[in-house]
Amino acid sequence: MSWACTRDEMKWWLLAALMLASCKEKPARCVVSGASTLVANLDDDDADGRVDGLQSPPSRDDDDVLSVSACRGPVSLRGVPEGEVRLWQRGDGGWAPLRQGQLEESTLGIEVVRGRSPSWRTPAEVLIGDAGVLSITAPPVLLRHVASPVKEVWVTEVTDAAFGSTAAFSSSLERAVSPLPVRRLPGDLARADRWVQDAFQGASMGGRALVLRLPRGGELRGLSNVSHGRGLPSSIGVLSTGVLQDSRFDYGGDVDVLPPHGEFPEGRLLAGKDVSPELLAWFEAQGAQTPAVLVPTSWLLSGHVDDVVLPLASSGAALRVAMPSTSLGQAVAPMHVEFNRACQRHLDEAETILRAAVAPTALEVLRVPVVFVPRASDGGVLAESFVPNPINAVVIGKQVLMGAPDAGLAGASLQRAVSAAFEDAGLAPGWLDVSAYAPRGGSVHCAVELVGR
C-alpha cells in the first residue's frame, strides 16, 4: 500500500516541524527581578563543626541558600567583593558550582557568606542571562543590648587547678541565673582562656542569634578559636569581623551597647576611645547602632569600657547607666586620695561625653562607690579597682551580678555601700565568687557572655 500527501499537506507538515524546532532552541524567556535580603550563612545546619558558609558546596538542605528558578545562561555578580556572595546550581546530588558561570536549565542558589562589611555596604546585583537582575543585601549585625531577651549564659570551664579553676564561679553563676541555662565552654582546650566576654559578643542578624568572634591572638587566646564542634551550639551563627590585629582595645570588654533611645531603636554602640579604626569601620558598615559613643579608657589597666559604664534598662524616658564614683568610694574606704581624684576627672569626662551624645534624651547616672589603686605597667601608672569593680557586672532584668570583694573590712564596707546604691535604684544586687578572675584583673562581665534568642 502506498501513501502520498498533497502539496498543501506537505506545507503544513513542514511548518509544524519548523515551529517545533524553534521552540526547542528558544525556550520561553523568564524574568527575574526584585530585591532579596539574605541572612549570612553562619550557622551549622549539618552539625559537622564548621560554619556552613565555609563549606563548599553547602549541604543539600541548607536553609540559608536562596533558590531562584531561572533560565539557562550566563550568571555573574556585580558590586560585591569576591567571596562575599556565592552562586550554585542545583544538581541531582544537591548544590554544585556553576561551570564557567553558566547556568544550565536548573535552580540557581545564592548564598551570603559573611554579611555587611566596610567593602560591601551597598546592594549586590546577580545578573542572570537576559532574564533580569536580582538585588541582594544582608541585614545588619545588631549587638545585644541590656533590654534584649537572654536565651543562655556562656562561661568558661577551666578545671585545671594550676590555671585557676573556674568551677566555683560557674556553680555560683548557675544558681544566680536559674532557670536560664549556662553553657560551659571548654576552657582547658583553650589554654585556660577564661575571658568569654573578650572573645565573643552576643548579637543577631535578621532576627537570628549569633556571636561575633572578636580579634584576639596569641597562644593564651584559645577561646576565640572554639568552634561549633568544640562547644558552640550549631543553631547559633558565628561571625568574624575580619579584623586580624590583636589589640586589647578591640576585645569584647571594650565594646558595649547603650539601651534604645532617641534615633537608636536598636541601641547604640559604646566603646573606648582607643578601639581600632578597622573594628569601628566594621561596626559602622552595619548602619544601625552607630555612630559610636567613645569614652576614655586608656587610663585603666584593663583599658575597657566595661570598667567605666554599665548600661541599665531605661526607666521611663531617661537613659540609665551606672558609673564608678571615686568620690563616694573615698567616703567609704579612703586610700590613694590624689590618685582617685585624677581617676574621677576621667570619669567626669566620660559622663560629659555620654550626656552630650544621647541628648536630647536625659541621662540618669547611678553613681557607685569605687576605689582605684595605681598599678605600674608598660603604659605607665594605670588604675585598677581595689576590689572587683562592681561596674564590671552582668545585668539580667533587675538583677545585677557583681564580683564579691575579698579585701577585709574595707572590701566589706564597699560591698555594703554598692548594694545599697543598687537597691535604692530598684535593682537586685547579687555577688559571685570571682577568685579565678580578680587576680587577673577581671570580674563578672569579663567572665560571662549573654546570648540572645
Residue 374: cis peptide before it, omega within 30 degrees of 0: no
What average pLDDT does the segment 349-370 reach? 97
What average pLDDT does the segment 270-277 reach? 94
- pTM, two decimal places: 0.88
Residue 58: cis peptide before it, omega within 30 degrees of 0: no
What average pLDDT does the segment 200-226 reach? 84
Would you tell me which CATH number, out of the four given (3.40.50.1100, 3.40.630.30, 3.40.50.10790, 3.75.10.10), belongs to the domain 143-451? 3.75.10.10
Which of 113-127, 243-257, 334-348 is modeled with the greatest confidence?
Answer: 334-348
Whole-number Å distance between alpha carbons of 154 and 200: 10
User: Between these two residues, 230 and 135, which has the higher pLDDT value?
Assistant: 135
Least confident of 159-168, 270-279, 369-378: 159-168
Helix-strand-coil split of the chain, %, nearest 5: 25, 30, 40
Polymer length in residues for the chain: 453
Q: Are strands 85-91 and 237-240 parallel, antiparallel or unpaired?
A: unpaired
Domain boundaries, the chain: 32-138, 143-451
Summarize pLDDT for 155-204 with one digit per residue, the tens.
999 988 878 899 999 999 999 999 999 999 987 766 688 999 998 999 99
94-97: strand order across its sheet: 66-69, 107-112, 85-91, 94-97
Provide the mean pLDDT of the chain. 87
Summarize pLDDT for 112-152 with one digit per residue, the tens.
998 999 988 888 998 887 667 889 999 999 999 999 999 99
In the chain, % of residues over pLDDT 70: 90
**pLDDT tier at 104 (50, 70, 90 boundaries)?**
confident
Which of 9-18, 87-96, 128-137 is modeled with the greatest confidence?
Answer: 87-96
- Judge whether 337 and 296 are in contact, CB under 8 Å: no
- DSSP conformation letters of 221-241: -GGGG--GGGTS-TTSEEEE-
Whole-number Å distance between alpha carbons of 440 and 61: 46
Element (H, E) at 323: strand 318-325
Q: Evaluate the CA torsion angle 162, 186, 255, 49 in order and state its sign.
A: positive
pLDDT over 60 (residue 72): yes
Residue 9: its pLDDT value, please?
Answer: 52
Type of residue at 407 = A
C-alpha cell at 323: 558609673
C-alpha angle with apex 227: 222 to 232, nearest 5 degrees? 110
Hey, is 283 helix, strand or coil?
helix
**pLDDT tier at 375 (50, 70, 90 boundaries)?**
very high
Residue 24: its pLDDT value, please?
Answer: 42
pLDDT over 60 (residue 1): no
- Judge whether 223 and 196 are in contact, CB under 8 Å: yes
Residue 13: its pLDDT value, please?
Answer: 45
Whole-number Å distance between alpha carbons of 300 and 303: 5
Q: Distance of CA 100 to CAs 69, 76, 89, 105, Å?
A: 19, 10, 12, 15
**pLDDT tier at 19 (50, 70, 90 boundaries)?**
very low
Whole-number Å distance between alpha carbons of 225 and 195: 13
Hey, is 433 helix, strand or coil?
coil
C-alpha cell at 162: 594550676
Whole-number Å distance between alpha carbons of 390 and 415: 9
Least confident of 165-179, 180-194, 365-379, 437-451: 180-194
Residue 219: its pLDDT value, please?
Answer: 62
**pLDDT tier at 264 (50, 70, 90 boundaries)?**
very high
Element (H, E) at 135: strand 132-137
Q: What is the CATH topology of the domain spanning 32-138? A: Immunoglobulin-like (2.60.40)
In the chain, % of residues over pLDDT 90: 56
